[in-house]
Structure 1
Amino acid sequence: MSQLICWLLLGLVHLVPALALVRPTLITQLYGVAPDSPLFLLMHHRAALFFAVLVACVWAAFDPGGRKLATLLAAISMLSFLFLYQSYGRPAQLTTIALVDLIGLVPLAWAGWHAFQQ
């Protein structure tokens, strides 16, 4: 049961940025990128990648066979952002995202540990 909860929590971490795939206005709200910016397309594509991580986490919640891959995908997503966030001097406008990813490392560690113990 704890693994199910952890995977669903990890899915929630990736839900809001994934929603930008179908609600592009979230890109401006979350990241401050204007719709007429060339970066908007890149951020919209990034939302599709978050959707892939979301799907992997929800899948892993119900299928133990997908948990190792989901662990790797979520870890790459979250740890790379935290590393880059730190490297770029911790921009204030991205602090909430960094905190969510940092908190999300707890269920990721628990679920990942169990995934690789099987």
Structure 2
Amino acid sequence: MLDRIAWLILALIHLAPALAFFRPAMLTRLYATDAQSPTFLLLHHRAALFVVVCTLCVWAAFDPGTRRAASVAAAISMLSFLWLYWQAGSPPSLRTIAFADLAGLPFLAIVVWRAFSPA
């Protein structure tokens, strides 16, 4: 049961940016990017990748066979953002996203440990 809860929390963390794929106006609100900017297109594509991560997390909540791949995808998503955020000097405009990923790290640790520990 702990596994399923941790996976669903990770899915929730990735849900808002994933929804931006279906509601592109959210990109302007989330990232303060003008819809006419080329960066907007990249962020829209980024939202599609969040759909993948969110879907994998939900899938892993119910199918243990997907947990290793899903944990790698979630770890790359969260840890790469936190690393880049820190390297960029921790821009205040992205602080909420960083806090969400930081809050998810204990759940990520649980799912990675459980996915890769011997049965």
Give the TM bin, normalised by the shorter chain: over 0.9
Q: Which runs of 4+ in 1 moved over 6 A?
A: none
Residue of structure 1 equivalent to 2:21: 21
RMSD after superposition:
0.5
Give me the whole-angstrom Cα distance separating, in 2, the residues matched to 1:34 and 1:78.
Answer: 25
Give me the whole-angstrom Cα distance separating, in 2, the residues matched to 1:107 and 1:38.
Answer: 34
Give me the whole-angstrom Cα distance separating, in 2, the residues matched to 1:38 and 1:112.
Answer: 35
Q: CA deviation at 1:111?
A: 1.1
Matched residue count? 118
- Structure 1: stretches of 5+ with no match in the other structure: none
Give me the whole-angstrom Cα distance separating, in 2, the residues matched to 1:97 and 1:90.
Answer: 11
Q: CA deviation at 1:82?
A: 0.2
Give me the whole-angstrom Cα distance separating, in 1, the residues matched to 2:32 and 2:16.
Answer: 15
Under a length normalisation based on structure 1, what TM-score does the superposition of the two structures give?
A: 0.99
Under a length normalisation based on structure 2, what TM-score does the superposition of the two structures give?
A: 0.98
Give me the whole-angstrom Cα distance separating, in 2, the residues matched to 1:115 and 1:94.
Answer: 30
Q: CA deviation at 1:6?
A: 0.1
Give me the whole-angstrom Cα distance separating, in 2, the residues matched to 1:103 and 1:83.
Answer: 15
- Structure 2: stretches of 5+ with no match in the other structure: none
Residue of structure 2 equivalent to 1:114: 114
Give me the whole-angstrom Cα distance separating, in 2, the residues matched to 1:96 and 1:21.
Answer: 19
Give me the whole-angstrom Cα distance separating, in 2, the residues matched to 1:42 and 1:73.
Answer: 19
